[in-house]
Amino acid sequence: MNDAVPQAADREPDTAADTGAPQDEPAGPAPLGVPRTPTGNAEVDAHVERLADADHLTTDGHLEVYEDVHRGLRDALTALDTRPGPPPAQGHRS
């Protein structure tokens, strides 16, 4: 029976230690692959497409994109509520 302690040469190499990179380093940004279906409204579609910008940012950059998109969509919805009313009443001439 061989009770010898494995030597460094006998062990499998630790790839993270070999490259000098930390083992617990988080992965970089990766697209989520969420489909964005066009709505037919060019303004809304532009804001929804802006969400793709978050795919290339780390999570601390997502908030700015989400707030920008939210603001744009809110403005587009508000614009739908501001329909033109009847023309202003003209004064009667005597």
pTM for the whole structure: 0.56
Could you report the per-residue pLDDT of 39-80, keeping only the tens digit for each?
999 999 999 999 988 888 888 889 999 999 999 999 999 988
* Long-range Cβ pairs for the range 29-32 (8 Å, 24+): 29/55, 29/56, 29/57, 29/58, 30/55, 31/55, 31/56
**What is the rounded CA–CA span in Å between residue 61 and residue 72?**
18
Question: Which residue carries 């009443």 as its tokens?
Answer: 89
**What is the rounded CA–CA span in Å between residue 36 and residue 52?**
9
81: Cα separation from own chain's centroid: 28
Q: Which of 5-9, 22-26, 82-86 has the lowest mean pLDDT?
A: 5-9
